[in-house]
Amino acid sequence: MKRIALLDILRGFAIIGTLGTNIWIFAYLGDLNLVFGNALEPWWSSGDRLVQTIMLILVNGKFLGMLTLLFGAGMELKRQKAAREGYAWPGVYIWSCALLLLDGLLHYIFVMEYDVLMSYAITGIIVSLIIHRSKRFMLTMMVIAGSIHVIGVTGITALLAFESGSSFNGMDAITHLYASGTWWEQAMFRLNNFGFFRAESIAIIPLNVFLFLLGALLMRTGVFSNDESGRRKRRKLMITGLAAGIPLNLLLLVPGGVMDIWVRYISAPVLTLGYLGIIAYGLEKGLFPKLFQRFGEIGKMALSCYIVQNIIASALFYGWGLGLGGRPSSLFILLMWLGICLLLMLFSHLWLRKYPLGPVEWLWRRLSISPSPRPGSTSQDTTL
């Protein structure tokens, strides 16, 4: 089966967009109080804060939602391949999730404390036991997971509203470590504080389940297909996502950061659907073909680029590297983000000219166990 170009391009945008949020965490040396809910410096207090707020309105949670949704779409393709080639589901997919869990653990310890791969691995196991069931059952699980998520996030938001001026504790110790500690000291710190830093990965599992299943259903209903029906469905998603998502994400402007968590985990995934439609529309109209090609190349080696971009950001901002972190200007942070994006485009372009897979994807393929199809079945590569 041929690769779906739109999926690669969307995945490339998702990788770059996710860095658009994470770059602030790297630049501020892990101080979440400077990234989210900065009550001491509201968005109108300076041009610097205004630029940061606009950037976060555009990217915070939106592209993570897209990456999550695409993971579910990819899982549906793998399920379809299993059915087509006649081997059991989830079967070997559980081994793939175990590899992702190990990859996420190593990435968490040695690179970044807010890595999402471990959460994806756990979610993948859960959803793999649901995805082969009926559409009605999948929708029921989506309602349950979505309800748990909305109730939980709304409850946290209400608590924040009653505790005006609340902040994340312990940030000074973290920023000091990232400013002056060695790479090994930082890795051991993440390992010793595993429970604290992994709390978010556990908390977002209901949202991940919802988005995985949504991505699978979108794939199943032909939203990503290159025909008129698929284009029509994507335009509906674009209109709905933008109409609902833009006002919901403007809640980020509420003073004191009260709505920051609500926007990141509820408003953002709504706007994700609008972004999906916009990117697909641009591809259909042939806008910026070379740029879309570069994003598609990043998408083809998404896992490699995700790891590389976080390593580069760590080396730029942390004390064991160039030590550029602390309180740099928003313009400087955006320039660093743009520079990393260009490096990823160059890296993926040059690599794919010589090799068919990214380095991590190649290793993944070598470690994966290929199931044996039943006699008489056909085998098609759907590596994503």
Quote the pLDDT of residue 294: 97
CA angle 24, 312, 193 (to 5 degrees): 65
Q: How far apart are CA 36 and CA 118, in angstroms?
A: 23
Contact 28, 336 (CB under 8 A): no
- CB neighbour class for 5 (10 Å; exposed up to 12, middle 13-18, buried from 19): middle
Quote the pLDDT of residue 330: 93
HSE, side-chain direction, 13 A CA sphere, residue 382: 19
Structure confidence by residue, pLDDT tens digits, 14-69: 999 999 999 999 999 999 888 876 666 778 888 888 898 899 899 999 999 999 99
HSE, side-chain direction, 13 A CA sphere, residue 48: 11
Q: How far apart are CA 37 and CA 251, in angstroms?
A: 12
* 3-class SS of residue 182: coil
Q: Which residue has the tokens 């993926």?
A: 348
Quote the pLDDT of residue 180: 94
- CB neighbour class for 95 (10 Å; exposed up to 12, middle 13-18, buried from 19): middle
Quote the pLDDT of residue 239: 96
* 3-class SS of residue 36: coil
Q: Which residue has the tokens 């429970």?
A: 195
Contact 292, 340 (CB under 8 A): no
The DSSP string of 287-328 is -SHHHHHHHHHHHHTHHHHHHHHHHHHHHHHSTTTT---SS-
Quote the pLDDT of residue 257: 76
Q: How far apart are CA 20 and CA 341, in angstroms?
A: 10
Low-confidence spans in the chain with pLDDT less than 70: 1, 37-40, 164-167, 369-384
Quote the pLDDT of residue 34: 83
How much of the chain is helix, strand and coil, in % rounded to 5?
A: 75, 0, 25
Nearest to 257 by CA among 99, 70, 82, 36: 36
Contact 38, 28 (CB under 8 A): no
The DSSP string of 335-365 is HHHHHHHHHHHHHHHHHHHH-SS-HHHHHHH
| 0.85 surpassed by pTM | yes
Quote the pLDDT of residue 135: 93
Q: How far apart are CA 240 and CA 234, in angstroms?
A: 10
